[in-house]
């Protein structure tokens, strides 16, 4: 899941001694508290909004929604999530070359806040064209803002610890806990407001959360971060620097103009946009981008034999990571719709909002992350750590178990003609196994990218890793609409296909463990 705090981008200004040596926040720099709460509220807003989107867009006009076909609504959520990942790449570039980390984070928070309030206020504009313009403009602003904020706030966390080592790891662990606390609370609060009181109350609550993060950052950053990240990377020649900034601004204005033109034409009804078709084309573009990039690196990257082998391993991990995320990122679409339509959510006379199930993953991550950290250390000490591909294979297998449970749950629904509500424990169990899979795969994948990448391509390879997440999120959205009370037969097929994809991928990768380990030049007991 994108909750992991490692979308870092190398950049920023110098590291002030005071900011890095301060121990005012549980033995860590006080700047960490500023970044902790800013990111906590940003994740509150992001994960608070995300599960409401498909429910709102698929709800009928009488229920206050847009009445979109479920396939279209789910595809829009997939495109939105995919673009959020992709936006972190230019967001880091803009921060490094133009704004600096600090200003990029601030402007990102401003755009995200504006986006949430635009979505919240779209209710006042009604369910027609005006309301849809406000709604989709809000999503676009959130994508742009998240691209500026998410990678750069993680980069500053890293820069608080110039010495690296265990203290830096502990700092990221604290930061990571804030991310999951925000995700957990966001889906509970916005879900209740959105489903019980009104969709736009939930949307607005997400905006209020991001506004809190913006205020905290604005007030606390100057006093706790010093000059950290205040300046972009500057070229020693002022003339070259000015020319580079001019080029960046021209590129950004060109992109903004194209987006604005498409947006206006769509709003006026002059062009028709089909989310499922667009998502399909995007999938080919994203996969094609990865293929072209890897081909370029192999042919023109001037790599030696060992580097080529390790990049080949990255290609393999990229493919299997995309398969994992295409299943995992069905949470806000297919599994969310299953919770809404086919799950008994009544406890003691109270019917839980469907979106509350989205918080289960965050809760399990908070509970299990320390367990897995201890597990890897124990294995390394006693029997030898599992290799990266072995952990990847385990992650795929456990995610497969999660979707295997959903096959049984879906068949119970189909057997009852769609009139049977199944136990919520099916979803709880599914999210448990998916979380175990996430903890096996996601942190290990990030670590592997930094260890396997040729030194001169580390930043680009991290971008490629998030491209795998983007591809998976997009595919998860494209298939997520197959949970529909009017098309019951699609649901078991979806979960069966997902399970088989994960299990076959796990088996294939398990068979490749030994040759991959050789290509990585790892011994069986080596750390991954």
For 267-271, what is the mean pLDDT? 78
Do 471 and 62 contact (CB within 8 A), yes or no? no
The pLDDT score that the predictor gives to residue 5 is 42
Q: How many CB atoms lie within 10 A of CB 43?
A: 27
Specify the higher pLDDT residue, 435 or 267: 435
pLDDT at 74: 94
Rounded average pLDDT over 405-426: 94
Pair 312, 515: CB distance under 8 Å: no
Q: How confident is the model at residue 505 (pLDDT cuts 50, 70, 90)?
A: very high
pLDDT tens digits for range 106-138: 999 999 999 999 999 988 888 888 889 999 999
Residue 9 pLDDT exceeds 60: no
In our burial notation (b when 16+ CB lie closer than 10 A, e otherwise), range 346-358 reads: eeeeeebbbbbbb
Alpha carbon of residue 180 to chain centroid: 12
Give the pLDDT score at 3. 56
pLDDT surpasses 80 at 514: yes
CB atoms within 10 A of CB 171: 24
pLDDT computed for residue 158 by the predictor: 80
Q: Given the structure tokens 């999120």, which residue do they identify?
A: 473
Residue 425 has pLDDT above 50, yes or no: yes
pLDDT of residue 402: 97
> What does the domain layout of the chain look like in residue ranges?
18-233, 238-272, 274-528
pLDDT for 8: 39
**Tens of pLDDT along 189-245?**
999 999 999 999 999 999 999 999 999 999 999 988 888 888 877 777 788 878 888
- Say how far residue 48 (Cα) sits from the centre of its chain: 13
pLDDT score of 259 more than 90: no
Taking the C-alpha atoms of residue 40 and residue 27, their distance in angstroms, rounded to an integer, is 20
Which homologous superfamily does the CATH classification assign to the domain defined by 18-233?
MFS general substrate transporter like domains (1.20.1250.20)
Q: What is the pLDDT of residues 395-411, one digit of tens each?
A: 999 999 999 999 999 99
> In sequence order, what are the beta bridge partners of 343?
422
DSSP 197: I
Percentage of the chain beyond pLDDT 90 is: 50
- C-alpha 478: how far from chain center: 16
User: Chain-wide mean pLDDT for the chain?
Assistant: 86
The residue behind tokens 């295997």 is 404
3-state secondary structure of 218: helix
Spatial distance between the Cα atoms of 525 and 483, rounded to a whole number of angstroms: 44
Q: What is the mean pLDDT of residues 289-299?
A: 89
Q: Residue 284 has what pLDDT?
A: 93
pTM higher than the cut 0.75: yes
Closest CA to 150 of 249, 46, 18: 46
**Topology of the domain covering 274-528:** Growth Hormone; Chain: A; (1.20.1250)
Q: Please give the distance of CA 44 from its chain centroid, rounded to a whole number.
A: 13
The predicted structure's pLDDT at residue 154: 83
- Dist CA 108 CA 129 (whole Å): 27
pLDDT value of position 12: 39
Both structure tokens of 437: 């899979």
DSSP string spanning 351-396? E--GGGGGHHHHHHHHHHHHHHHHHHHHHHHHT-PPPHHHHHHHHH
Burial of 253 per CB tally in 10 Å (0-12, 13-18, 19+): exposed
How far is residue 136's CA from residue 298's CA, in Å, rounded to a whole number? 40
If you compute the radius of gyration of the chain from its CA atoms, what whole number of angstroms results? 23
**pLDDT 10s digits, 474-492:** 999 999 889 888 889 899 9
Q: With 80 as the cut, is the pLDDT of residue 273 above it?
A: yes
Residue 334, pLDDT above cutoff 90 = yes
Do domains 18-233 and 274-528 share one topology? The answer is yes
The structure tokens 């076959």 sit at: 504
How confident is the model at residue 166, as a pLDDT? 66
Residue 526 has pLDDT above 70, yes or no: no
| Pure H helices in 160-226 | 165-192, 199-225
> Pick from 224, 229, 179: which is nearest to 41 by CA?
179
303: Cβ–Cβ under 8 A, 6 or more apart, which residues? 297, 311, 454
For 67-109, write each residue's pLDDT tens digit: 999 999 999 999 999 999 888 888 888 888 888 889 999 999 9
């Amino acid at each position: 899941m994108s909750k992991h705090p490692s979308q870092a981008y190398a950049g920023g200004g110098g590291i002030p001694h005071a900011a890095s040596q301060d121990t005012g926040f549980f033995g860590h720099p006080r700047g960490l508290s500023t970044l902790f709460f800013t990111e906590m509220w940003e994740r509150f807003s992001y994960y608070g909004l995300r599960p409401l989107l498909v429910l709102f867009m698929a709800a009928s006009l009488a229920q206050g929604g847009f009445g979109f076909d479920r396939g279209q609504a789910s595809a829009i959520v997939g495109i939105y999530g995919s673009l959020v990942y992709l936006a972190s790449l230019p967001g880091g570039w803009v921060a490094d070359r133009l704004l600096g980390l600090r200003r990029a984070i601030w402007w990102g928070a401003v755009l995200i806040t504006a986006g949430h309030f635009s979505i919240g206020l779209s209710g006042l504009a009604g369910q027609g064209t005006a309301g849809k313009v406000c709604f989709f403009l809000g999503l676009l602003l959130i994508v742009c803002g998240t691209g500026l904020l998410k990678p750069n706030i993680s980069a500053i966390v890293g820069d608080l610890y110039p010495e690296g080592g265990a203290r830096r790891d502990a700092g990221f662990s604290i930061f990571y806990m804030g991310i999951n606390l925000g995700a957990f609370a966001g889906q509970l609060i916005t879900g209740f407001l959105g489903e019980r009181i009104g969709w736009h109350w939930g949307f607005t609550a997400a905006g209020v959360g991001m506004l809190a993060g913006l205020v905290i950052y604005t007030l606390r950053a100057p006093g706790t971060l010093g000059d950290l990240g205040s300046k972009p990377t500057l070229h020693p020649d002022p003339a070259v620097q000015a020319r580079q900034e001019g080029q960046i601004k021209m590129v950004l204005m060109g992109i903004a103009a194209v987006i604005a033109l498409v947006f206006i034409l769509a709003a006026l009804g002059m062009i028709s946009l089909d989310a499922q078709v667009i998502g399909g084309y995007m999938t080919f573009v994203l996969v094609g981008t990865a293929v072209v990039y890897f081909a370029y690196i192999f042919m023109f990257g001037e790599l030696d034999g060992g580097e080529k082998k390790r990049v080949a391993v990255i290609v393999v991990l990229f493919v299997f990571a995309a398969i994992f995320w295409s299943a995992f990122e069905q949470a806000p679409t297919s599994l969310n719709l299953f919770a809404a339509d086919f799950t008994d959510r009544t406890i003691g006379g109270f019917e839980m909002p469907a979106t509350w199930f989205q918080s289960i993953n965050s809760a399990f991550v908070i509970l299990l992350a320390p367990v897995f950290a201890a597990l890897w250390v124990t294995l390394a000490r006693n029997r030898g750590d599992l290799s990266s591909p072995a952990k990847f294979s385990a992650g795929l297998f456990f995610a497969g178990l999660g979707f295997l449970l959903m096959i049984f749950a879906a068949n119970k629904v189909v057997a009852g003609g769609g009139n049977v509500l199944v136990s919520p424990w099916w979803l709880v169990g599914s999210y448990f196994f998916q979380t175990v899979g996430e903890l096996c795969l996601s942190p290990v994948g990030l670590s592997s990218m930094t260890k396997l990448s040729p030194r001169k391509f580390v930043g680009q390879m991290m971008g490629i890793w998030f491209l795998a997440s983007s591809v998976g999120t997009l595919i998860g959205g494209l298939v997520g609409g197959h949970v529909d009370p009017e098309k019951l037969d699609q649901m078991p097929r979806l979960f069966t296909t997902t399970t088989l994809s994960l299990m076959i991928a796990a088996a294939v990768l398990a068979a490749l463990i030994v040759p991959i380990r050789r290509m990585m030049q790892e011994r069986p007991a080596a750390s991954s």
